[in-house]
Amino acid sequence: MKIESIIKRANGHTAEIDGEKYTFNKSNDYTCEVVDKQHISRFMQIPEGYRIPNKQDQSDFDDRSDTELRPSEEARENSPLVAKSTPRRGRPRRKKG
């Protein structure tokens, strides 16, 4: 399935997922062929950065269940594309009132 980068950098950019590198640049119309379902799911979790190109045939993915494109719990935990929060340190804030 083709994935398109919405962000069009002059020199292009590379996204790496599980050691697989995807290069988006002007020469490939900022699109890459992505085969791994988990990688497709990770790209789709960033709607402000990636999308499925409009000209692509929708039948490639319309018949798949929603759960097929969701990453596993392990993939979410280890994903470099997911922000992780850390506990706040220091004194707790006082409640006003």
Q: What is the pLDDT along the chain (97 residues), one digit of tens a residue?
A: 999 999 999 999 999 999 999 999 999 999 999 999 999 999 999 999 999 998 554 444 444 445 555 556 666 666 655 555 555 566 666 777 6
pLDDT at 54: 80
Q: Strand, coil or helix: what is 16? A: strand
pLDDT at 70: 59
Strand order in the sheet with 31-33: 31-33, 2-5, 50-51
pLDDT at 90: 66
pLDDT at 63: 47
Instruction: Return the bridge partners of 33, or none.
Output: 2
pLDDT at 82: 53
